[in-house]
C-alpha cells in the first residue's frame, strides 16, 4: 500500500534524524575531515571541536550593538543553529491581483500598495535555523541558555509550554544534542484525565518529536501554570 510505505519511510526518516540528534553522532572523525579538506592534524582537531554542539564559544556583539549592550552572556553561546539564515526579497513588481468583498468592493492587495509606495519587503528566514526538530527562532535563545546550563554543571533541563509547544520541542531536541535530559511540563485541558490514566497525551505533532528524543513529559492544567512557574523560579534563584 503506497500510503503505508510513505508512513513507514517518514517514521524511519524521523527516527534517524532524532537518533542523529540524540547520540551527538555528527561529531565528524578527523580522518574523514582530512580526507576531503587539506589540513594538518591540529587544524582538523580544531574543526571537529568547533562542530561540537556542547562546546560554548565566546559571544561577539554584532557591529550595530557595540557600545549599546553591556550585560553580555558570560558563558558564551553554543553553535546549534545554521546561521546566518537567508534574507529573501519579496517581489512586488507585475502584481495586479485584487481582492473583492461585498462591503468594500475591489481592494488592492498589500503587495500592490508596497509597489506604489516604492517599499521593499524582505523576509528573514528563521525557519531555516535547523531541521524539523530545531527550526525556528527558538534555537537562538537556547544557544545561550544551554551554554549556561552546561557551564553550571546541570544534567537536566525543565521547561513549560502548551501541549503542542514549538518551544518545548526545540528545547527537548537541543538538550539531547548537548547531553542534557529534557523534562517538559505541557499545559493541557486534559491534564486530570491523563493523570488518572483515563486519557493519554498522544503521539501526534510536536508530542511525537518530544517522545522521540526521550523527553520526560508531565501535564498541568492552564490554571496550574502560574504556581508551577513560581515554584521553578524559587528553586533556581
Catalytic residues: 165
- Cα(27)–Cα(43) distance, rounded to whole angstroms? 15
Amino acid at each position: 500500500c503506497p500510503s503505508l510505505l510513505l508512513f513507514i519511510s517518514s517514521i524511519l526518516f524521523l527516527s534517524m534524524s532524532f537518533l542523529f540528534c540524540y547520540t551527538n553522532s555528527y561529531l565528524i572523525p578527523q580522518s574523514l575531515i582530512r580526507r576531503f579538506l587539506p589540513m594538518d592534524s591540529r587544524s582538523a582537531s580544531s574543526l571537529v571541536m568547533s562542530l561540537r554542539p556542547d562546546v560554548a564559544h565566546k559571544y561577539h556583539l554584532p557591529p550595530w550593538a557595540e557600545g549599546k549592550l553591556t550585560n553580555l552572556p558570560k558563558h558564551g553561546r553554543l553553535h546549534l543553529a545554521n546561521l546566518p539564515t537567508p534574507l529573501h526579497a519579496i517581489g512586488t513588481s507585475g502584481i495586479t491581483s485584487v481582492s473583492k468583498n461585498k462591503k468594500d468592493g475591489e481592494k488592492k492587495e498589500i503587495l500592490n500598495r508596497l509597489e506604489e509606495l516604492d517599499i521593499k519587503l524582505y523576509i528573514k528566514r528563521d525557519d531555516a535555523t535547523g531541521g524539523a526538530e530545531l527550526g525556528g527562532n527558538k534555537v537562538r535563545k537556547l544557544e545561550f541558555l544551554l551554554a549556561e546550563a552546561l557551564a553550571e554543571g546541570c544534567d537536566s533541563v525543565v521547561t513549560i509550554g502548551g501541549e503542542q509547544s514549538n518551544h518545548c520541542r526545540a528545547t527537548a531536541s537541543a538538550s539531547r544534542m548537548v547531553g542534557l535530559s529534557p523534562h517538559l511540563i505541557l499545559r493541557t485541558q486534559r491534564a486530570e484525565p491523563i493523570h488518572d490514566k483515563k486519557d493519554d497525551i498522544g503521539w501526534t505533532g510536536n508530542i511525537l518529536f518530544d517522545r522521540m528524543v526521550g523527553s520526560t513529559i508531565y501535564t498541568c492544567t492552564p490554571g496550574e501554570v502560574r504556581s508551577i512557574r513560581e515554584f521553578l523560579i524559587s528553586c533556581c534563584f
